[in-house]
Structure formats: structure tokens, C-alpha cells
Amino acid sequence: MTETARKRRVLLKLSGEAFGGGTLGVNPDVVSQIAREIAAAMDDAEVAVVVGGGNFFRGAELSQRGMDRARADYMGMLGTVMNALALQDFLEQAGVSSRVQSAITMTQVAETYIPLRAIRHLEKGRVVIFGAGAGLPYFSTDTVAAQRALEIHADEVLVAKNGVDGVYTADPNQDPNATLIDEITYNDALVRGLKVVDSTAFSLCMDNGMPMRVFGMEPAGNVTEAIRGEQLGTLVHR
């Protein structure tokens, strides 16, 4: 297949909160639903996933409670690997072949992060799940989603959110007049301090011309539609 004829390729960012269904740990029903939504779109796109880990640990929160920040961040990264394995399991149950690649070497449970191998998996129709973030403390999985999207030459970063369905003019939980923005530039989002996604991720995408769609996990079917290229939520672009 030539470069111009290749299938749409997306990098889907799933937060840890999605996996936990609002509590600590993994909610199998929720992860199974996400896996089925990804499976439903596999004819239309190549799918790579970056998983968060906030349903287990967030380094910044643990460090506020007295832990060394870097060590706490490593705990956060290990949490993302558990989510990655859960997603892999439910993807396989949904009939989709998948591979987990970890930024921290743990050969028994995951492949090591090798970008060219990840691309090869995608070309073969496998979902590639990136675990352990960047393998570096002080980073977030949003930023890793932007970086991985760039490195695997994705067409778009899809950021699935819980409890919010896109980028708003203000925090919709605090300002009843906040409205959903259909389309915005990275620069405007940064200048206006719209923080649905962390600013490092925005900057990385802005500097490298990578478009990002921010959308809500609800209602069911949104993940499938976003992967297929439906115009949900907010498009953020250069």
C-alpha cells in the first residue's frame, strides 16, 4: 500500500478514570464496553491507544501526601500498564488482535516500546496499546498521547473524556454559561487557558501540526464514531 492510500490511523487516549468507572481499580464491564467500541471501528482505521492510570495512582497527588514525586510517578506509570493489560484482554475477547508496548521494560507482560514495530502491528490490523506513559516522571499520559501520535504518524489524536464532551468556553462544572466549542486553534486554547488537555500535550501537537479531537466517552458508540472520523466534540488544530 502506498503512503497516500493508507488507512486512517488514530491515537486514542483513554483516561484511567474511564477504566475505573469512577472507582479505584478496573471495572471489567466498562473496559469490555470500550474494547467492543474499538472493535466496531477496526475496518475503518488503524488504532493505537495510550492509557492513563488515574484510577490507580497519580504521582502529583501521592507526592502531596508525602511521597517522593518521581517514585510516585513510577507507581502511576505501573498503573497504566495494568489498564493496558485489561484492555488487551477485552480486545482479544472482542476478536481484535492487540499488543501492549511498555515504555518501562517488563518483558514477561509487554513488548518494549519499539516505534517501528508498533507501526508494523498497526499495518497488520492489530491494536497497539502503549503502557507506562513515557517511562519518565513528571510527564502525563496526555503528553505521551501527543508524542506517540507523532512518532507513529497518526492522522489525529482522539482524546476521550469522562464527564465532559469537548472543550468549553469555561469550566462547565463551574460556569453555567459555558458553551461547547466546535473548533479552536491550539494557540487560542492555550491563550484562553482552556485546560481539558494538559498544556504540554497541546504545545507538542501545535508545534508539529497534529490535530486533536476532544470528545466525551458518553453516550455509548462515541468511541467507535470518533475512530471512524465523525466530527464529535471539539477539533483542536494549528
- List residues forming the annotated binding site for ATP: 13-16, 54, 58, 162, 168, 171
- Closest approach, Cβ 53 to ligand UDP, in A, equals 3
One character per residue 144-163, x = contact with ligand UDP (rule: CB under 6 A): x-------------------
Could you say which of 9, 10, 11, 15 contacts ligand UDP (CB under 6 A)?
15
Give the C-alpha separation, 66 to 193, whole Å: 29
| Cα–Cα distance for residue pair 139/68, rounded to 1 Å | 15
Count CB-CB contacts under 10 A for residue 184.
19
Start-to-end CA distance of the chain, whole Å, equals: 29
- The grid cell for 12 is 486514542
Q: Closer CB to ligand UDP, residue 42 or residue 132?
A: 132
- Contact status: 52 vs ligand UDP (CB under 6 A): yes
Question: Of 71 and 238, which CB lies nearer to ligand UDP in the complex structure?
Answer: 71
Strands (E), the chain: 8-14, 45-51, 98-102, 111-112, 127-131, 156-161, 183-185, 212-216, 234-237
Tell me whether the omega of the peptide bond preceding residue 219 falls within 30 degrees of 0, making it cis. Answer: yes
Using the rule CB under 6 A, give the single segment among 32-40, 135-143, 160-168, 216-224 that binds ligand UDP. Answer: 135-143
Among positions 60-89, residues that touch ligand UDP (CB under 6 A) are 60, 73, 76-77, 80
The sign of the CA dihedral 132, 102, 41, 184 is positive
d(CA 149, CA 147): 5
Q: How far is the CB of 130 from ligand UDP (least distance, A)?
A: 10
- Work out whether 139 is an interface residue with ligand UDP (CB under 6 A): yes
Stretch 174-193 residues interacting with ligand UDP (CB under 6 A): none
| Residues 92-131: x where in contact with ligand UDP by CB under 6 A, - otherwise, as a string | ----------------------------------------
> In this structure, what DSSP letter does residue 124 have?
T
- Binding interface with ligand UDP (CB under 6 A): 15-17, 52-54, 58-60, 73, 76-77, 80, 133-134, 136-137, 139-142, 144
